[in-house]
Amino acid sequence: DAGVIQSPRHEVTEMGQEVTLRCKPISGHDYLFWYRQTMMRGLELLIYFNNNVPIDDSGMPEDRFSAKMPNASFSTLKIQPSEPRDSAVYFCASSLRQMNTDTQYFGPGTRLTVL
Amino acid sequence: KQEVTQIPAALSVPEGENLVLNCSFTDSAIYNLQWFRQDPGKGLTSLLLIQSSQREQTSGRLNASLDKSSGRSTLYIAASQPGDSATYLCAVSDTNAGKSTFGDGTTLTVKP
């Protein structure tokens, strides 16, 4: 398996623009996580899905953020409108919840810069 | 709300030294604890996963221990190498088996 795939790897946009980040989890994994990492706040969980259903979105900072998982192999994180304070690295991770194993596998991240 | 603390924030050691990284958490009702490694500009790579019923896990030169009752975990690295230089993060997964809280990490530098 190619691992968790994220696109784009880098995104530079202007304030007010819509940004869509994409993630393809590892095939067969039933959990998908979106994280944000900044120097100031470290790694924060934004939202996670189980079997394509959002379970906990309490980490989503504002209504400007939304996430979807239309099927088991694809998820998006959308920011509309984007603001400079959204600049961060966004990671997607997936895992397979089984007895004695629950390792989260991370994608390479999308580095977002909002000017 | 679960809080995860890692001490020290940064550590520099000479090559060959054994070292211990610390992780503490406030809520002992956890599902598991995971140690990750992050290289600059890269994603996170899982190193070791300890289920709440386990006391330790080993992989090569790495050994992670878990004391759930005291809210502590340690990552022991034996015979450190320059290639071990990275940031090490611990993450605690809650009993709802999904939500993970990460520490801020310990940045390790191993000098040749």
pLDDT at A100: 47
Report whether pLDDT(A87) > 70: yes
Q: Are A105 and A96 in contact (CB under 8 A)?
A: no
Report whether pLDDT(A20) > 50: yes
- Tell me the average pLDDT across A92-102: 74
Tell me how far CA of residue B5 lies from CA of A98, B2, B27, in angstroms. Answer: 27, 10, 12
Q: Which of A92, A106, A110, A113 to mutate to test the interface with B (most CBs of B within 10 A)?
A: A106
Contacts of B43 in chain A (CB under 8 A): 4, 91, 106-109
pLDDT tier at A1 (50, 70, 90 boundaries)? low
Cβ distance A50 to B98 less than 8 Å, yes or no, reads yes
Q: Which amino acid is at A96?
A: L
Nearest CA in chain A to B31: A102
Cβ distance A107 to B43 less than 8 Å, yes or no, reads yes
pLDDT tier at A104 (50, 70, 90 boundaries)? confident
The more confidently predicted of residues B40 and A84 is: A84
The DSSP element (H or E) to which B56 belongs, if any, is: strand B56-59
Contacts of A55 in chain B (CB under 8 A): 98
Contacts of A42 in chain B (CB under 8 A): 102-105
3-state secondary structure of A47: strand
Q: How far is B112 from chain A (nearest CA, A)?
A: 28
pLDDT tier at A83 (50, 70, 90 boundaries)? very high
Report the C-alpha gap between B106 and B82 in whole angstroms. Answer: 15
The more confidently predicted of residues A99 and A108 is: A108
Contacts of A93 in chain B (CB under 8 A): 44
pLDDT at A62: 84
- How do the pLDDT tens digits run along chain B, 112 residues long? 889 999 999 999 999 999 999 999 999 888 889 999 999 888 899 999 998 889 999 999 999 999 999 999 999 999 999 999 999 999 998 765 567 889 999 999 999 9
Q: Are A36 and B96 in contact (CB under 8 A)?
A: no
pLDDT at B19: 96
Report whether pLDDT(A101) > 70: no
State the DSSP string of B7-19: E-SEEEEETT--E
pLDDT 10s digits, A2-11: 799 999 999 9
pLDDT at B94: 79
Cβ distance B97 to A45 less than 8 Å, yes or no, reads no
Cβ distance A45 to B42 less than 8 Å, yes or no, reads no
Contacts of B32 in chain A (CB under 8 A): 102
pLDDT at A13: 96
